[in-house]
């Protein structure tokens, strides 16, 4: 990059052939955007359990839908976090691991992703239009139950809505994933997950997209 203080860096943009309103950037998140992760929205005030949803790019639509539905219909308060670079988070975590390994007599350092999500409420669900392996890059440094949703398999859908339903990354599937994670840790009853599956017309016996 050329300028008064040249930097040996690359900047990249991810472009989608989909139009949607870009929310305004919140104050004080510039560093988090560059580092790869920042809290995008606080959880609604509800009386029930809490959870965290990570999203990337256009998956923000599904995350925002899930946050609203979880609060209104299930009494669950979900924080939203924007993951701008799982790769950067992973590389920083690996560097921390290496430093700790080679400096056993020094106080251990903590990966940035672990610090950022250390106080995030409840289980964590990550939704992306990429493959599950992308958010799964940070899984072993996440200090909570972690569930990635992604587009593994071959889509044969004619609309984006149908495609995301096929890959189980649309808003209703994020709701079910959050409730299922909460049920796994005992914060909601399994019947609540069943109710959500029925509410959104999800077929629990449909073939796994990865196998179709």
Mean pLDDT by 10-residue block, N- to C-terminus, for the chain (212 residues)? 74 72 83 92 95 94 97 97 96 98 98 96 95 96 96 81 92 98 97 98 93 76
- Domain containing residue 86: 30-211
Is 3 domain-assigned?
Answer: no
Is 121 domain-assigned?
Answer: yes
Q: What is the pLDDT of residue 2?
A: 64
| Total structural domains within the chain | 1
CATH number at residue 161: 3.40.50.920
Q: What is the pLDDT of residue 8?
A: 80
Q: What is the pLDDT of residues 59-85, one digit of tens each?
A: 999 999 999 999 999 999 999 999 999
Is 1 domain-assigned?
Answer: no
Q: What is the pLDDT of residue 1?
A: 60
3-state secondary structure the chain: CCCCCCCCCCCCCCCCCCCCCCCCCCCCCHHHHHHCEEEEECCCCCCCCEEEEEECHHHHHHHHHHHHHHHHHHCCEEEEEEECCHHHHHHHHHHHHHHHHHCCCCCCCCCHHHHHHCCCCCCEEEECCCCCCCHHHHHHHCCCCEEEECCCCCCCCCCHHHHHHHHCCCHHHHHHHHHHHHHHCCCCCHHHHHHHHHHCCCCCCCCCHHHC
pTM score: 0.90
């Amino acid at each position: 990059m050329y300028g008064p203080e040249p930097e040996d860096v690359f900047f990249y943009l991810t472009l989608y052939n989909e139009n949607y309103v870009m929310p305004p950037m919140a104050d004080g998140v510039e560093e988090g955007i560059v580092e790869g992760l920042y809290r995008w929205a606080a959880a609604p005030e509800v009386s029930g359990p809490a959870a965290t949803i990570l999203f990337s790019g256009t998956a923000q639509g599904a995350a925002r839908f899930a946050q609203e539905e979880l609060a209104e219909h299930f009494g669950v308060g979900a924080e939203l976090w924007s993951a701008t670079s799982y790769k950067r988070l992973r590389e920083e975590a690996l560097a921390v691991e290496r430093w700790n390994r080679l400096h056993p007599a020094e106080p251990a350092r903590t990966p940035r992703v672990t610090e950022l999500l250390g106080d995030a409420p409840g289980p964590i669900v990550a939704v992306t239009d990429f493959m599950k392996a992308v958010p799964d890059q940070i899984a072993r440094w996440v200090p909570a139950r972690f569930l990635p949703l992604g587009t593994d398999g071959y889509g044969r859908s004619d609309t984006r809505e149908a495609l995301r339903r096929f890959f189980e990354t649309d808003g209703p599937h994020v709701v079910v994933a959050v409730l299922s994670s909460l049920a796994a840790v005992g914060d909601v009853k399994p019947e609540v997950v069943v109710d959500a599956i029925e509410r959104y017309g999800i077929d629990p016996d449909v073939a796994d997209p990865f196998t179709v």
